[in-house]
Structure 1
Amino acid sequence: MSVTLPSGNAPTGGHHPVQEGDVFNMRYQALRKLGCGAFATVWLCHDTRRKKHVAVKVPRSGESFAEAAQDEVALLRCVSSMKKKDRAGENIVCLLDDFKMMGENGFHMCLVFEALGPSLRSLMGNYAAQGLPLPFVKKSLQQVLAGLHFLHKRCRIIHTDIKPENILLYVGDKTLQKFLSDIVDSSQRTDLGLKGPGGDLGNRLEHSDLMSIEVKIADLGSACWTYKPFSKEIQTQPYRALEVLLGLDYGTPADIWSTGCLAFEMATGECLFDPRPGKYFSRDDDHVARIIELLGRIPPQIALSWKKSTKFFSRPGALLRISRLQPRSLCGVLVERHNWTRAGVAPFVSFLLPTLEYAPEKRATAAQCLQHAWLSSP
């Protein structure tokens, strides 16, 4: 598991202090910290009953964190139940156990997951200049989309935070256990999930057979039911769908927008949208402007029907605080900035554009994305 550091002030409630060797729930012995965020820490542990490695997520103490953890458990139990019915959903991380723990800072609702490798972000750090090899990009996207199709259609769940940090790598049980054991025994590595370029773990992955690596969608901590959104503010900014930026009610298409952004970043090494605030405009203003520059004018019937339209637009298609736009095209960006051939660009752009449709109801579904010829091409 990986833990994402959210923006803004850290919430109240304390982290449970953990030392290597501590035992959770009379069963899970802490080996190494995998990640630490504002909401939880995640520990690589040895399950003394099953004799295997697991990842234990320990949220901060406090009622709000306990409720959020209980929501996550409910969502993950639904995933587990549907997996058993359908024999599908293998591309979603498995919840193995959950337990309650009282510590010096109060009550903690803990979750136990299968132990996986580092995040896709860790792997991408070694290919930052040129993006990941396209055969691996296509294979990984097939697995992410299969996972999303399962979540959307079978479980009625919106993930709400698809990004490289929440896509975890694994390489098969026996290989993985040996791999993790090697890392645990090494004094050089104390963090599996957050690696910088050139790190020991990343180099070992880089020199392995990339095509033997599988991926799984992890971290349903922000997920919600399709029929019961928990929050209006979802998604990490660069992967945030236009309807979320503009305050519209969202659904499963928001995950597809994020997946389109993920696909571009995997293939090029750069974020599709990387908005920055300016002196007279916000990060959200810049984000909307960058979207318009790349994908074209937002139709008035869409822009002005949305709840935050007056926050961004002075009149149909005209931004309030940013007057000068520099239109560009996906094809142009790939050819001029990333040195793709025109023959290679067209199929990829044909795959991307349906994931970035402005109107959510017109956006491609996960199932439709999976049928696109680019994903199965050599």
Structure 2
Amino acid sequence: MPASDPHTEQSDAADYVPLGAIERLKRYRMGGYHPVDIGDILGGHYRVMHKLGFGAYSTIWLARDERTEKYVAVKVGTGYSHPLEVDVIACLQTSQTFDISIVRSVIPPVLDAFEAHGPNGKHPCYVTTPSGANLKRAKTSSHNGGFRLDVARAMAAQLAIAVTHIHEKGYVHGDVRLANMVLRLPFDINQLSLETLYRKYGEPMRIPVVGADGQPLTPAGPTDCIVPVWLGKTSDQIMLPEAKIMLIDFGEAYLPSLQSRYTSNAPPAYQPPEALWDRRTPMTFPSDIWTLACSLWDMVAWFPLFKSYFSKENDVTSEQVAILGRLPTGWWSAWGRKNDRLRRRFNKHGRPVDAVCYPDWETRFENAVQQPRRERGMMTMEPEEKDAFFSLLRSMLVFRPEGRITARQVLESEWMVQWARPEYERVLHGG
């Protein structure tokens, strides 16, 4: 887990003119991001060629290994990064229950690890295989805004395999959502020369960094920021043979047998309810099951299940109650004490007073899954599959964590066995 919160800005951090499409510039400070530029050498022999992305605790770069002449992805952590992330991933590269080739296809192995030193301190870095866009970006960049149903099924099976393996190795991932799932590249990037790569996907786009109120830049930050390159496909462009994903970003992963975690750093709409209403009981494997269920929904739907326009905890709770019913007694009382105005929108049984404002499960499924698919001429779920999908999600989205099924039970559920896993088998055998 991060040593400290990077969202808390330091008073001595440089002030910059805000820019879109890049990381927050104020995080270039002591203990924050490490300034990286195109052409830099990282780890002694990884020459930076482009930028792949960024997160709260890292920037990710496409580099060329000058020893092997192959492309790699280099994740450069902030001073708040999880220094044990490499150890977690290394532990996950063995299995007694899954074919190791399957494990390594859904959880990319670490090829190398080192530290980078710069004006903002010491930064843990690790090297892995390059990937395409994350699934969240693939959806938001798409004109249609969703995945084909066969593609969604195949990706869901891979995600269930990854989470099952992680849990059986004793870890909780801590942040299972589309932003942390990436598409495997549908081509061999090592066959592309740098010139071909730039011609096909674009040269690095630089955005000059400007200090607020004309203040001079400091060595802590870059003089230019690089817009991440788009190597993937949008959700509507992905065909079944290309539906190969990897679960990444283990910066929030932990061993519940050794570490107690009471809060979640996932976005509010994906946080399990115990993170909001039970700060005395540690979160463990069932907390991943909740966010896994939200992600399975996101794969087949156009909108999140617990959609909250204001991203506030109480708004998310309202959405959860509208779909799942009344909170357990202690949580229901705590919610009422914290925000009686919102709770009065529901009767004593947890049913919304205004069903239009807070639609039920069936209505959300029709509006977020079936209707968008029909409007775009895409396949919809038949009643039998819909029933199996609902049954799976209902067994995962139980308010009390001890009532949720395990990851192995998710993988062995009717929807996985009858619909998701057969599509993944087609992917493995070439569609």
Contact 2:113 2:125 in 1 (8 A): yes
Larger of the two Rg values belongs to structure: 2
CA contact (8 A) 1:276 1:287 kept: no
1:210 alignment partner, one of 227, 231, 240: 240
Deviation sequence 1:67-123 (CA, Å, 0-9, x none): x43221221222235589972622112111111222233322211122222111132
Taking only the aligned residue pairs, the percentage that are identical comes to 24
Q: In the alignment, which of 307, 328, 334 is matched to residue 365 of structure 2?
A: 334
Count residues in correspondence: 350
Q: Which runs of 5+ in 1 are unaligned?
A: none
Q: CA RMSD in A?
A: 3.3
Q: Identify the match of residue 405 of structure 2 among 364, 367, 376.
A: 364
- Are 1:77 and 2:90 an aligned pair? yes
Match of 2:172 in 1: 158
CA spacing shift, 1:169–1:193, aligned 2, 3 Å: farther
C-alpha distance in 2 between matches for 1:359 and 1:72: 29
**Residues 118, 193 of structure 1: 8 Å contact kept:** no
Q: Kindly tell me: are residues 208 and 128 of structure 1, through their superposed partners in 2, closer, same or farther at Cα, counting changes over 3 Å?
A: closer
Instruction: Map Cα deviations across residues 125-155 of structure 1 (whole Å, 9 max, x no partner).
Output: 355756311111111111111111111012x
Q: 2:312 aligns with which of 264, 272, 283?
A: 283
Matched ranges for 1:248-259 at <5 A: 248-259=281-292
Match of 1:36 among 44, 49, 54: 54
TM-score (norm: length of structure 2): 0.72
1:163, 1:259 within 8 Å by CA — same for their partners in 2? yes
1:138-193 Cα deviation digits (max 9, x unpaired):
11111111111111012x11111111110011146x53544796544446364899
2:327 aligned partner:
298
**Alpha carbons of 1:100 and 1:244: their partners in 2 closer, same or farther (altered >3 Å)?**
same
Structure 2 match to 1:324: 345
| Cα pair 2:62 2:72 within 8 Å, conserved | yes
Aligned twin of 2:33: 15
Matching residue's letter, 2:244:
E
With over 3 angstroms needed to count, the CA separation of the structure-2 counterparts of 1:231 and 1:176, relative to structure 1, is: farther
Determine whether 1:104 maps to 2:119. yes
Aligned to 2:336: 313
Q: Secondary structure at the match of 1:44?
A: strand
CA distance in 1, matches of 2:262, 2:71: 33
CA contact (8 A) 1:335 1:345 kept: no
CA–CA distance in structure 1, aligned partners of residues 199 and 415 of structure 2: 42
Instruction: Tell me the secondary structure at the aligned position of residue 158 of structure 1.
Output: coil
Q: Deviations over 1:18-52 (max 9, x none)?
A: 22111112211101111234432111111122322
Structure 2 gaps of 5+ residues are 10-25, 206-225, 347-351, 372-379, 420-431
- 1:171-320 matches, within 5 Å, as 171=185, 175-178=188-191, 183-186=197-200, 188=202, 190=204, 201-202=232-233, 206-207=236-237, 209-227=239-257, 228-229=259-260, 232-246=263-277, 247=279, 248-277=281-310, 283-300=312-329, 303=331, 310=334, 312-314=335-337, 320=340
Change (3 A) 1:32 1:348: same
Larger RCO (CA under 8 A, 6+ residues apart): 2
Aligned equivalents of 1:128, 1:364: Cα separation in 2: 35
